Amino acid sequence: MTMSRPYVGRFAPSPTGQLHIGSMVAAVASFLDARAQGGRWLVRIEDLDPPREVPGAAEDILRTLEGFGLAWDGEVIRQSARLDRYADQLNQWRSMDAAFGCVCSRRELSEQGGLDVYPGTCRYGIPPDMTPRSFRFRMPKGGPLQWVDRIHGEQSWEREQVGDVILRRADGHWAYHLAVVVDDADQGVTDIVRGADLLGATAAHVALQEVMAAPTPRYAHVPVVVNDTGQKLSKQTLAQPVRVSQAAEVLADVLAHLRQAPVARDSPSQMLAQATAQWACPSLASFHADGP
């Protein structure tokens, strides 16, 4: 018998710039889903990639969330404060032979046909005179990785499609996959609502949760906001930051993207209260219905 755990959701931005409409969609969707189910909503700053981070961005993100009425529960966790925990997890996986050292350079990997799925070069050992540059997860053999996404439905990913994902990068920084799975497990996160660009990452996370014996959260991957040329909005595609002074307009746009009924223009917290009361997790069909 499985006890159902009390709902814990989260929003986990990287401090690589200011929040834009695409990141607000993930923030608002995860907030509304948590509040509509009487759950807790956590904020975690994913600051594990110093070369890409912008000084002051984390504080700016938190101020923006506050300005939009997106009040979180408990303390904000910063991944940069949890490096020892990640090292412990890697050591544990290495001792279980669930992780291995890799000596491949980026150049070697790209010559072997792209950086997306690791070709398995080092999974059976590295030359004794070489030191690992990075560490990877040893994807266990087995049937497809399966879960039910609340928006995308039944998912089934072959393990070979995911491969031996990176856990600690050659530059010494912790990889997203390890940190996210460890943090979600440690924080008791039961529900993850995030952008559909992470659907493939979730397949890797399901494999990591299996090896950690951590429960797989429920997932809802919200279709991402794209620009006129079909690219996902991001700092790289020069998405404009959202302004607290335009919160009502931004929230109306975000709710429209999330296929929610419109709410009356009001203060951000009033608008969110109304949106919470009428929240319905969007269906995939509703995103396909408005094509050109």
Q: How far is the CB of 117 from Zn ion (least distance, A)?
A: 13
CB 251 within 8 A of CB 68: yes
Closest distance of CB 78 from Zn ion, Å: 30
- Our CB check for Zn ion shows the closer of 125 and 230 to be 125
Tell me how far apart the alpha carbons of residues 118 and 115 are, in angstroms, rounded to a whole number.
7
- Could you give the CA distance from residue 127 to residue 123 in angstroms, rounded to a whole number? 12
Indicate whether 43 belongs to the interface with Zn ion (CB under 5 A): no
For Zn ion, which is the closer residue by CB, 26 or 122?
122
Q: Give 70 or 122: the residue with its C-beta nearer to Zn ion.
A: 122
Q: What region, left, alpha or beta, does residue 287 occupy, with left being phi > 0 and alpha being psi -120 to 50 degrees? A: alpha
Among 42, 122, 225, 250, binds Zn ion (CB under 5 A): 122
Looking at beta carbons only, is 72 or 135 nearer to Zn ion? Answer: 135
**Piece of the chain touching Zn ion by CB under 5 A; list 34-42, 49-57, 122-130, 141-149:** 122-130
Query: What is the residue type of 206?
Result: V
Q: What b/e string do you get for 231-256 counting C-beta neighbours within 10 Å, with b at 16 or more? A: eebbbeeebeebeeeebbebbbbbbe
Query: Measured from the CB atom, is 122 or 250 closer to Zn ion?
Result: 122
| Residue 21 CB, nearest approach to Zn ion (Å) | 39
**If you compute the radius of gyration of the chain from its CA atoms, what whole number of angstroms results?**
20
104 binds Zn ion (CB under 5 A): yes
Q: What's the gap between Cα 5 and its chain centre? A: 21
DSSP 20: B
Q: How many residues interact with Zn ion (rule CB under 5 A)?
A: 4
Structure tokens at 205: 């996370």
- 121 binds Zn ion per the rule CB under 5 A: yes
Measured CA distances, 17 to 56, 180, 238, 239 (Å): 9, 20, 11, 10
CB of 102 to Zn ion, least distance (A): 3
Per CB under 5 A, the segment of 69-77, 117-125, 189-197, 284-292 that binds Zn ion is 117-125
Residue range at the interface with Zn ion (CB under 5 A); choices 74-82, 87-95, 101-109, 260-268: 101-109
Task: Give the interface segment with Zn ion, choosing from 40-48, 96-104, 156-164, 191-199 (CB under 5 A).
Answer: 96-104
Examine the residue annotation and report whether 141 is marked as an active-site residue of this protein: no
* Active-site option among 123, 232, 235, 259: 235
In sign, the C-alpha dihedral spanning 38, 42, 43, 45 is negative
Cα 289 versus chain centre, distance: 26
Would you state the structure tokens that stand for residue 156, as one six-digit string?
């089934």
102 binding Zn ion? (CB under 5 A): yes
For Zn ion, the binding residues (CB under 5 A) are 102, 104, 121-122
Q: Which residues are catalytic?
A: 235
